[in-house]
Amino acid sequence: MSYYLPSFSAPPSRPGSLAASRANSTYAGARSRPNSRPVTPRAVSTAPTTPAILSRANSKTSEEDYTPEENSEIIRNEKGEPMIGRIVGGKYVDPENEDIDADCGPIKHVDIDIPLTLTEMVKHNDKEYIVLAFATDDKENPFNWNPWYKRSITTILNLMTLFIGLATTAYSSGIDSMVADLGASNEEGQLGLFTFNIACAIAPMILAPFCELVGRKIVYAGAFFCFTVLFIGLALAQNIGTIIGLRLLLGLFGCVGTILVGGTFDDMYEPHKRGRPMAMFSFVAIFGTVAAPIYAGFIDQSLGWRWIEGIQGIANVPLLILIVFFFPETRGGARLHKRAKALRKATGDDRYVAEDDIYTPDIKSMLKASSVKAVRMLATEPVVFAFGLWIAFCWFVVFLFLSVIPITFNEKRGWSEGVSGLPYISLAVGTTLGWMAHHLQMWKYNKLQEDPNVKVLPEHRLYGAMCGAVFLPIGLFIYSFTQYAFLSWVGPVIGLAPIAFGIYFVFESTYSYTADCYGDSASSAIAGQGLMRNTLGAVSPLFASAFFHNLGSQYAGLLLALLGTLLSLIPFVMFKFGYKLRARSKLAKEY
């Protein structure tokens, strides 16, 4: 399934943006452009950030990838002061408004219901505009929503991610009975896993920019509706070709549904508050992927493979209702766009716009960032490639073990199909323990930021990886040497937990370190890593069975353990030499 992908559409603020000076604006001060006028960010955080668009002022991005808005300028009065103001109307008129952002000029009243809104006159491409921004403590600004309301939205997103993750791998438990029923080969059945993952690998690079432009809710609701409906076809399919085609579409709509999750967190949470929701999202994404076979085998054994798909489709319906009727539009720019549209209609002045209306990058630029630049960074940036290879190996192992665990417990020990899915509980436990232990990394990072004598660098993101990710090869070694049928089943089950524990730390360190290293280019870097990760995840089920049967389970597991050991050196190498690699890069952020 798809994983966190930063926003490609969020533009850095225009020069001297009024919005950039507002602590609770949708355009935080960290996004101000180079050459912008001095502003006083009211809550610019130095706390940990999740993969997001960071400061362009500190980026060494080449002009090929970024061209400043040279045709944009602030309109100033005769005294040289920016022409800023406030506007309010209808039921929102209140004497107390005078004290809110009083330094932003006089209040203009209009005959429509509009909350107090800040305005600034700019010239862009030789046209004058009045750009709107949220006033301080505006209740419609997603950053100002009630914390419990934000948590409810986060919970909905995590549940959606969970169900998509479950759909990714639950299918694998019914492959044997499905191909027997449809008269197909096992290899053809495995193609259903391949098509799902290959859709998750390629589709985000093309669809992410389009998803960003139309708003969050319509994408979530539309994609999850199509995702849910497809289970009807999967449950009723009469041939393997239909199954493979529908799995491709399922992967397409599944990854579309999760493309925007990271951007949605950016909409609501200030940087220093994103760490916990992002850690939970990472946990749910991995947990859902490894947990599905726990129950899917019993469903196949008791009701048949079609009910694996049917039950999942039915389970999605309540969440679909929640998304359609209760999930809000989280993009603050979309809300300001509505205000601007209402003001244009009420006043006849077409200059009123939201910042997104005139500064959002064009589709061509975003497609270049999400595809061409992503592949180029994967091929030319050592940091992107190294961490991309590491996380791709982890995803390779996850999908490889969909075939390996049945070999170990079903073939060698004679367990029934349902019972042989229970060892996946160990993977789920390992993922949970990894998420819990990751709080130590967040605590350590926060302590470093609070110390005025410490210069916080991206390498400080790697403490957790250096301590936690080494459990991946440890688990692989344990699993490899305890697969013998004459040994107790306890050994390989125990080995699965550290595998998942280590994988969680690989995911967290990869995305946080890459984001901190590349700033504005992080979205392209992470898109490239996602392509590599999902591609390896897609191909692994195609030869997993042959790999373990022909090489021997113990030696195949040993080979994986040795590769895992080699890759586990990456955080140690980056901790010591990462600053040198960043210094050589034209795209890395300066510290």
Q: What is the DSSP string of 417-465?
A: TTGGGTTHHHHHHHHHHHHHHHHHHHHHHHHHHH-TT----GGGGGHHH
Q: How far apart are CA 318 and CA 255, in angstroms?
A: 20
Q: Quick one: pLDDT at residue 12?
A: 44
What span, in angstroms and rounded, lies between the C-alpha atoms of 65 and 365? 9
- Of 535, 521, 534, nearest to 586 by C-alpha is 521
pTM of structure:
0.84
In contact, 535 and 201? CB cutoff 8 Å: yes
> What pLDDT is attached to residue 112?
92
Instruction: Provide the 8-state DSSP code for 17.
Output: -
Q: What's at 370, amino acid-wise?
A: S
Identify residue 402 by its one-letter amino acid code. L
* Residues forming a β-bridge with 84: 120
- For the chain, count helices (H), then strands (E): 20, 6
For residues 482 and 487, what is the distance between their CA atoms, to the nearest angstrom?
A: 6
Q: Which residue from 182, 258, 173, 174 is spatially nearest to 224, judged by alpha carbons?
A: 258
Residues 476, 502: contact at Cβ < 8 Å?
A: no
| Of the candidates 318, 326, 324, 329, the residue with the CA atom closest to the CA atom of residue 223 | 324
CA distances from 134 to 74, 212, 334 (A): 18, 21, 12
pLDDT at residue 251, as a whole number: 93
Compute the distance between CA of residue 220 and CA of residue 259 in angstroms, rounded to an integer. Answer: 9
Distance CA 408, CA 397 (A): 15
Q: What is the pLDDT of residue 18?
A: 53
- pLDDT of 382-400, one tens digit each? 999 999 999 999 999 999 9
Run means of pLDDT, 10 residues per run, the chain, 591 residues: 53 47 40 32 33 30 41 76 89 90 90 92 88 92 94 95 93 93 92 93 81 81 95 95 96 85 87 85 92 94 95 96 94 90 92 86 76 88 94 93 89 89 95 94 89 89 91 94 87 94 93 86 85 91 87 89 95 92 86 78
Containing 515, the helix (H) or strand (E) segment is helix 490-518
The whole-angstrom separation of Cα 225 and Cα 303 is 25
| 569: its two tokens | 């050196």
Token pair of 565 as six digits: 């050991």
Residue closest to 512 by CA, chosen among 393, 391, 429, 381:
391
Q: Note whether 119 and 130 are within 8 A (CB).
A: yes
CB-based contact 369:524 (threshold 8 Å): yes
pLDDT digits (tens, 9 = 90+) for 403-437: 889 989 988 888 988 899 999 999 999 999 999 99
**353: its two tokens:** 């716009």
**Cβ atoms of 492 and 483 closer than 8 Å:** yes
- Distance CA(125)–CA(123), nearest Å, equals 7
Which residue bears the tokens 């895992």? 564
Looking at residue 3, its pLDDT comes to 52
Q: Which residues 6+ apart lie within 8 Å of 429 measured at CB? A: 497, 500
Structure tokens belonging to residue 545: 């069975």
| 483 touches 495 (CB < 8 A) | no
Res 35: pLDDT: 34
Cα–Cα distance, 528 to 370 (Å, whole number)? 8
- Burial of 219-258, coded b for 16+ CB within 10 Å and e otherwise, reads bbbbbbbbbbebbebbbebeebeebbebbbbbbbbbbbbb
Residues 6+ apart with CB under 8 A from 331: 26, 142, 215, 216, 267, 356
Is residue 129 classed as helix, strand or coil in its secondary structure?
strand
d(CA 534, CA 396): 8
Q: What is the pLDDT of residue 36?
A: 35
